[in-house]
Amino acid sequence: MTNTNPHITSAEWEVMRVVWANHSISSRQIIDLLTSILAWKEGTIKSLINRLVQKGLLIKEENKRPSSYQASISELEALASHVQLLFNQTCQRQRGQLLHTIIEQQELSQADCRLLIDQLNQKLDHAPERLACQCPVGQCHCHQHPNKEG
Ligand SMILES: [Zn+2]
């Protein structure tokens, strides 16, 4: 995962999901699928595909007929980078609480739970007692209570 991944809009996300689900797919198939799922116009979908190619998120396989598209990034990588951007928008002291809220709201399988427990146990061994606030002054609560330890 890199932080150079371009932002994917929600409309572009619909196209990416089709490509991720099909590995390699022609623009005709993308258009047929999305016009049936979302009732979008063909021209709209074509320009979304072109924009995703320009952003480097879709790769056109020129040697194939009809020409097909592949994603340059996995779905999980794209999601993780999207979520990381959101986490970067809040104080790192708040991120644990945010994760707690997110986990509370999700349906998780037993395997998911075990994976999370294992990972937290590993983190716990190396976790600092408290995290430092790295926010600019005036953008989080930490600076309003400088003597209160988070
Ligand atoms: Zn802060």
pLDDT in tens, the chain (150 residues): 344 567 899 999 999 999 999 989 999 999 999 999 998 999 999 999 999 999 999 999 888 777 899 999 999 999 999 889 889 999 999 999 999 999 999 999 999 999 999 999 999 999 999 999 989 888 888 876 655 554
State the distance from the centre of ligand 1 to the C-alpha of 103, rounded, in angstroms. 22
Residues whose CB falls within 8 Å of the CB of residue 79, separated by 6 or more in sequence, listed in order: none
The answer to whether residues 11 and 48 touch, using CB atoms and an 8 Å cutoff, is yes
Q: Residue 110 corresponds to which tokens in the numbers above?
A: 């037993």
State the distance from the centre of ligand 1 to the C-alpha of 137, rounded, in angstroms. 8
State the distance from the centre of ligand 1 to the C-alpha of 139, rounded, in angstroms. 7
State the distance from the centre of ligand 1 to the C-alpha of 148, rounded, in angstroms. 12
> Minimal CA–CA distance to 93: which of 144, 50, 47, 53?
144
Q: What is the rounded CA–CA span in Å between residue 117 and residue 135? A: 29
Q: Is 116 left (phi over 0), alpha (psi -120 to 50) or beta?
A: alpha
How much is the pTM? 0.76
State the distance from the centre of ligand 1 to the C-alpha of 91, rounded, in angstroms. 4
State the distance from the centre of ligand 1 to the C-alpha of 147, rounded, in angstroms. 13
